[in-house]
Chain A
Amino acid sequence: MTDYSYISLVLIIPIAVFVITGLFGKKFSAFSGILGTVGMLVTACLAYYTAYQYFIVGGRTDGAYPTIIAFKQTWLQFSPSLSIDFGIMLDPISVMMLVVVTTVSLMVHFYSIGYMHGEERYATYYSFLSLFSFSMLGLVVSTNIFQMYMFWELVGVSSFLLIGHYFEKPSAVSAAKKAFIVTRFADLGFLAGILVLSFYSESLDFQTIIHRMTDHNGVIFLNANAASFMGLSALTWALCLIFIGGAGKSAMFPLHIWLPDAMEGPTPVSALIHAATMVVAGVFLVARLFPVYAQIPITLDVVAYVGIFSAFFAAIIACTQTDIKRVLAFSTMSQIGYMMFSLGVAGGFWREKGLGYTASMFHLFTHAMFKALLFLGAGAVIHYVHSNEMGDMGGLRKKMPITNIVFFIACLAISGVPPLSGFFSKEEILTAAFNHNKIIYAVGILTACLTAFYMFRLYFMIFWNKSSISHHEGEVHHGEAPFTMKLPLILLAIATVVVGFIPFGKYISADGFALESEFHVNLLMIIAVLSGLLGITIATVFYMKPSEMPAKISSSLGSIYSSIHQKFFIDEICFFVTKKIIFNLVSAPSAWFDKNVVDEMMNFISVVTENTSDGIKSFQSGKIADYVLWFFASVIVLSVLIVFYLS
């Protein structure tokens, strides 16, 4: 057995950095960035070492990767059978997530040294980054669902703090609030789900829950499956509720409305939180409980349909957006949709049926790399042009050669062009979908085509299109980007190219056994690639050179275009629901109730209080005889009560 006692350092280092930079950062502002980066570097090295130990040295026992509880401490013992623990669990997906989170976090830390240079709240920024990394790492290694919930909320809080980094900007503040409130709303479902699930499984521990809930003959499973509410079993309800929580964090339709606004945060933050790590927490959650989900096919169908719809829906919207970060935000939502429906189409957790599971995790991994790269690249562009609007950009390929190349690589990867990483994972997802559900497969192919289209639309509008731009004419330019920003871009670009060749199925599969997927060219693969290439071709025709065509098409589509551009008015619908319906029908009556009943009651209480204390005041002024009188009277009352009424 390999020794993993060092693993708690993975959590201790980020929280220590958070405390140090949080408390003393103001004094050593410049130092806090370096401290944060070095801390994350050490954490990342530990994560890599753990992955090496786990996958290569530790290897399989009995053909499957074991689940290792590297550290466990009982925190609250409620009853002999129910306790809340704190622990660190290592299994294939948590080790993979450790690698993803630390890698992206390290890149972002490093990149931010240049990007956030000279910011006023530089130290605060770094301390929050560390807090976020701590929370996210804690989330992925949680041994039980309650611990996960706490870290889940911590992730929400640190995301709130980071989105609201520029708190002087009203839009940033409202975006932070929106993200927080929408995800909190979803977390309510999560919490309810946890309660139902743990009530029936009589445990909070993941391993125990999974063990009990997959045992079809066990009393606990039968109970959970038999108890029904509105036609569905308790277990189904619990899983659906938990999925709501996951959908909130992962920006699935219709809880996605916070994600585009969250782009108000600093761009590296978007790369870390809203591309690679936090938003995949929902996928991770479903994957973590996957064996239980697999017991109830209907819940997996919910996951699959929500996922595919979000993927398609977001892809359509992304085609019309003009803000560079918003395009990326919708593309993130779309890609997470892929991961979700991929989980949904994995019909079971045994061998080949679990292909969707492996594919989902694979896509999570590759997506983290190329999406972080895209965001950081976009950050470099924004840093250079000082604008988020694609209209202000164009023709930057000469001025920003490195960014141009890495961005191009990332766009190819997300479009699924071989041999880049995105191709492998997306192809695997589509194969899984094809085996399970043809409709989902067809929509998936369509979405892949759209993805390629909008990504290359973005790419061409930034780096090609206009030959040179006028509004920066005459200004003295700083260079492309400082070294600290370029290095992460290059490293991530390399990762984007190579991670696709990792034989992922060997390491991560639903049942822990190796999933041997032989790589050979087949029709499905060709269709997937062709759909991507088609999207790229259309984008090239439209946007590589300035042309009138896109404008013509958009105007001919008229109201359809504008409704897509306005994101199908989902925000407006939400506002309508909250402002008009909830405020008028729920809040206004409760406000009336509050004002006229609660307040009056409070006033009444205060009047009573005042009168009572006025009454008592007269003998609190020093007459001890009155005290004694009260004392004696109370003794008599008490004695009478005891002797006559309570015995």
Chain B
Amino acid sequence: MSLLNYISMMRFELFALGVIIFLLLVKIFSEKLNTSFILGLINFSLVVLLAASFIGHPHGSVFGGMFLNDGTIILEKQIITFATLLIFLQANFWLKKQENCLEFCLLLFSVLIGMYFLVSSGNFLMFYLGLEMATIPLAALAAFEFGRMRSAEAAGKMILSSAFSSAILLFGLSLIYGTTGSLDFNEVSLVFSSSSALQLFTLAFVFVGFAFKISIVPFHLWTADVYEGSPVAVTSFLSVVSKGASLFIFMTVLYRVFPIAQETWVHILVLLSAITMTIGNLFAMRQTNIKRFLAFSSITQAGYILIGVTSASALSMASVIYFILIYTFSNICAFTVVSIIANRNGKEDIGDYKGLYKTNPLLSIAMMLAVFSLAGIPPTAGFFGKLFLLTSGASAGLIVLLIIASLNMVVSLYYYLRIVKAMFVDKNENPVEKISTDVSAKAVLVICIAGILVIGFISFVFEYIHSLSFGI
């Protein structure tokens, strides 16, 4: 394979690496940093990367099967990159004021590179490395507002919980290596047997490692605290990009490595999905802090996503990726509104959103659309996303789970609409004053609203994803 092919195969990783090196050099050589310049450069580089990712179709593997690349993986990386770009734009206003803006970018790019490797991995070793690279810098990012107690607490909780989950995951991986003699996805899948208790044990452990990252009940306890304590930009990243990347590799591992134990993990998925939706919903109802609320809402959404994962067909993979794309738009839209308000006057309670429509109609409408899409109300894209998830569940014949999911969707309407009601109906003596939104955040809102309104109607999107997807 020629050098050019290598570069083409690993363009995402190399690009992110280049940005990291560049940032380090800037840090070393420049006295006074111009934050707007750096942020502009970063946004620009992400756009370039996104554009470059559409050139050519580098399929294949390098490093002896450790690093894979195909259409699905490129698509997943594009979604990750796109979401990161949106988050950078969303945080632009806040980041400009930060003294350590450069370090933020540095850390986020480290996470990004970790995620690229994670999604591309074809071997448990690479997978583990990617996972850790995508987690540890995130904990540092959660602590980014180190003046605030909550922020430090969030980081502490995150790093400790994730260390624990990593330990269990590693234990599982070592058992895999011990029983199969390999860490390569393909080789493990050939040797893996569903009758060996020890190997099933490893499945449980690996499963838990994912469940932690995707924050599936009962491995979700860290989520709410961390989401609440972290800066909004980090919270959005955690809830969208981090969760999305983990789900992508989760599907790959389940479908590629453990197809033989399908019956087993389908049962677990069904069980956890039902618990996750229900518990997430019941908690979301009671929240008063909007970030905490969105944390539980994202847990519930993860429960819905698991329905899509279960049927293990190309349709199910397509429905999950499609849903994550839509979820990216909806959740980032919601978080952008939250960040705009939180960064101006630190208000994060749902009660503070009362009467928002009177003072900030555009923000309210953006929030309303985001919430509608999360709740799956047609004609927003969220409806189509859920439709396909449920279709995929129905194709696996999981009628009971579908009924539970439908009930949960009805219940979730209650608390999603509560936000809309607060903004549009409730009276408030002292509403959030008129906010002049900065251009980049406005751009994010426009992109997200367009996505929410349009994606459902462009059948091409789903068909494109479907054409790249695979199942067992």
Contacts and interface: CB of A to CB of B under 8 A. Distances in A.
Nearest to B463: A77
Contacts of B153: 622
A609 B194 contact: no
Given A77-B463, A638-B204, A630 B221 contact: yes
A634 interface: yes
Contacts of B267: 646
B205 interface: yes
Contacts of B283: 609, 613
Interface string A50-88: 000000000000000000000001111110000000000
A616 B194 CA distance: 36
Interface centre among B156, B195, B283 (most CB of A within 10 A): B283
Interface string B199-216: 011011101100010000
B286 interface: yes
Contact of B282 (A613, A639, A647): A613
Nearest to B195: A647
A642 interface: yes
Nearest to A73: B459
A642 B459 CA distance: 39
A619 B391 CA distance: 38
Given A638-B207, A638-B268, A642-B264, A647 B222 contact: no
Interface string B343-385: 0000000000000000000000000000000000000000000
Contacts of B264: 642, 646-647
A551 interface: no
Nearest to B208: A635
A248 B282 CA distance: 42
B171 to A, nearest CB: 10
Contact of B164 (A74, A616, A631): A631
A527 to B, nearest CB: 54
Contacts of B282: 605, 609, 612-613
Contacts of A646: 263-264, 267-268
Interface in B260-294: 261, 263-264, 267-268, 271, 282-283, 285-286
B260 to A, nearest CB: 11
Nearest to A75: B459
Dominant secondary structure of chain B at its interface with chain A = helix
Contacts of A635: 168, 204-205, 208
A523 interface: no
Interface string B146-186: 00000001001100110011001000000000000000000
A634 B204 CA distance: 10
B201 A642 contact: yes
Contacts of A632: 164
Nearest to A612: B282
Contacts of A582: none
A627 interface: yes
Interface residues of A, number: 30
A1 interface: no
Given A642-B204, A642-B268, A634 B218 contact: yes
Nearest to A628: B164
Contact of B194 (A73, A605, A647): A647
A109 B376 CA distance: 37
Given A624-B156, A627-B161, A647-B264, A76 B459 contact: yes
A612 B283 CA distance: 9
Q: How large is the interface on B (under 10, 10 to 19, 20 to 34, 35 or more residues)?
A: 35 or more
A74 B221 CA distance: 44
A77 B268 contact: no
Contacts of B164: 628, 631-632
Contact of B201 (A609, A627, A639): A639
A642 B200 contact: yes
Contacts of B205: 635, 639
Contacts of A613: 282-283, 286
A624 B218 contact: no
A553 interface: no
B303 to A, nearest CB: 15
B424 interface: no
A627 B222 contact: yes
Contacts of A628: 160-161, 164
Nearest to A633: B218
B207 to A, nearest CB: 7
Given A635-B168, A643-B197, A646-B263, A620 B221 contact: yes
A120 to B, nearest CB: 21
Contact of B203 (A77, A605, A616, A642): A642
Contacts of A502: none
A358 B285 CA distance: 60
B219 interface: yes
Contact of A631 (B195, B219, B224, B457): B219
B161 A624 contact: yes
Nearest to A78: B391
B225 interface: yes
A385 to B, nearest CB: 42
A296 to B, nearest CB: 32
13 contacts: A616-B221, A619-B221, A620-B221, A624-B157, A624-B161, A627-B221, A631-B164, A634-B219, A638-B207, A646-B267, A647-B195, A647-B200, A647-B261
Interface of A: 73-78, 605, 609-610, 612-613, 616, 619-620, 622, 624, 627-628, 630-632, 634-635, 638-639, 641-643, 646-647
Given A641-B268, A642-B203, 9 more contacts: A75-B457, A610-B286, A613-B286, A628-B161, A631-B164, A631-B218, A634-B218, A642-B201, A646-B263
Interface of B: 153, 156-157, 160-161, 164-165, 168, 194-195, 197, 200-201, 203-205, 207-208, 212, 218-219, 221-222, 224-225, 261, 263-264, 267-268, 271, 282-283, 285-286, 391, 457, 459, 462-463
6 shortest interchain CB distances as A-B pairs: A639-B204, A634-B218, A627-B221, A609-B282, A646-B267, A642-B204
